[in-house]
Structure 1
Amino acid sequence: MSGEDEPAQEELNIHAPGDKLRMAREAMKASIDDIAARTRVPVRLLSALEKGDYKALPGVTYCIGFSRAYARAVGLDEVQISREVRADLEAQDAISGTRYEAFEPADPARVPPRYLAWTAIALALVLAIGYGIWRTQFFTAPTDEEIAETRIAEAQKPAPTGHERPSAPARPAALAGDVMLTATDTVWLRVYEEGGQRLFEKEMKAGEKFTVPPTAKNPLIITGRPQALRVTIGGKEVAPLGTPDKTISDVPISATALNARAAPAAAQP
């Protein structure tokens, strides 16, 4: 009798929102790491969502938000998936506030009023949302519109007049060797060839490095935080690629192009 019930139960489980997300991901031949990179949700939380282990997730709001992001990434109806996740939460009684209780004091008089607990939760959510917005502004990749605005602004810069004759400092001898980009802080960047072929795209952490292939055809870079990159040729540092916290695009980073730039201020007399 139990053997006959097992297939039926297994068939029902396939219709759980976590199973739908997993099957959609597998149909795309994408790993859970790929989804984590697209949604910026940690792998362990996506895995818990697939398994329906909602108690491993930080809270109801996050469960719903993560499920919507996952659904968008794999092409499912995010409204329907989030509705099914909420139904699962209610069915499992996970939507109650008990998950936030860290301890149960022996003396009932020590239990704080309920409104204080909800106030603390609300403040924590506000801080988390504020931090997320701040991080998004500083560390996410610039949009196509921002890149286009940067290019237009650069194109509209007035050309130097013939009356301006700034004295050019003595240029040091050209450096030779591989061009290396080293992150000094969290920074997103894209390196690509003149024809548009991408060579590298990632949000780098402090200390991570990328060596520009010597055979790359006129390699260029886009980044929103040029001050977070240390650029070297053969181990010797060259001038910064742009103004801090201002998006740069189509900036050449071959050894020839970098040698043509002004030397770093520290190296000038």
Structure 2
Amino acid sequence: MFEIGNSLREARYRQQLELSDVELATKIRARYLQALEEENFDALPAQTYVKGFLRTYSDYLGLDGQLYVDEYNSRYAVGEDEPREPVVARRSSTVHQRHRRLERRGVVVALGGIAIVCAFVIAAFKFGSGNDNNPPIPNLGTTSTKAQTPGPRRKKQRKAARPARIRFFVVATSGNCWMDVRNYSSSGRTLYTGTLQYRQHLGPLVARRLWINFGNPGNVKAAVNGKPVLLPGSGRSVMVLVTARGVSVAPATA
């Protein structure tokens, strides 16, 4: 169990972000973001909005959105959102009477049409059976239509699969280490910049790809999705890319 609001606020302060910056990036109003940080969930329209905003906000800060939603469910969720009262269109008695008159008129017209068709068929049979020279009565009941063959189906273009999310964790085990952590590439959003002191840890950081500049990688141990990984550089300053496949030296253009 952890404090949802305080952890969100601390993560935002750590990245030196204002609520207006987060609002511009996530399209969530600042007053809703503030309500999440104050755990004033009643200020949001419904639980569905709370969960959606909570997931989006925490993911934007590099946190685990599902973890925050689960924490909210365990502490605050009380059931399904109450459905809004349905809007029922009330019809006046005049409208109902008008509809009934139209329905009766439609039935009368349909019966009259059936009677005319039956009379026409009987007359045609009666007067046409004694004279073989009369032209045949056209078939009024059926019409032949050619079955339309379906055209070739268009092949759906498969979208390229997005990289899987990773959970990155690092701890200073042998000494201090300066780090610059950015989302996806060297030009991405800064997630952390500073010196990780001896025995301090950072993470878990959740992203699809991380670009990290280690000042002294020999002083830290790292793990991706709970599995230890070996950092390149042999103790010297190195820039790496972290993905679901592991850790590799970052190219100059990354």
Query: Taking structure 1 as the reference length, what is the TM-score of the superposition?
Result: 0.30
Task: Give the structure with the larger helix fraction.
Answer: 1
Greater Cα radius of gyration, structure 1 or 2: 2
Task: Give the structure with the larger strand fraction.
Answer: 2
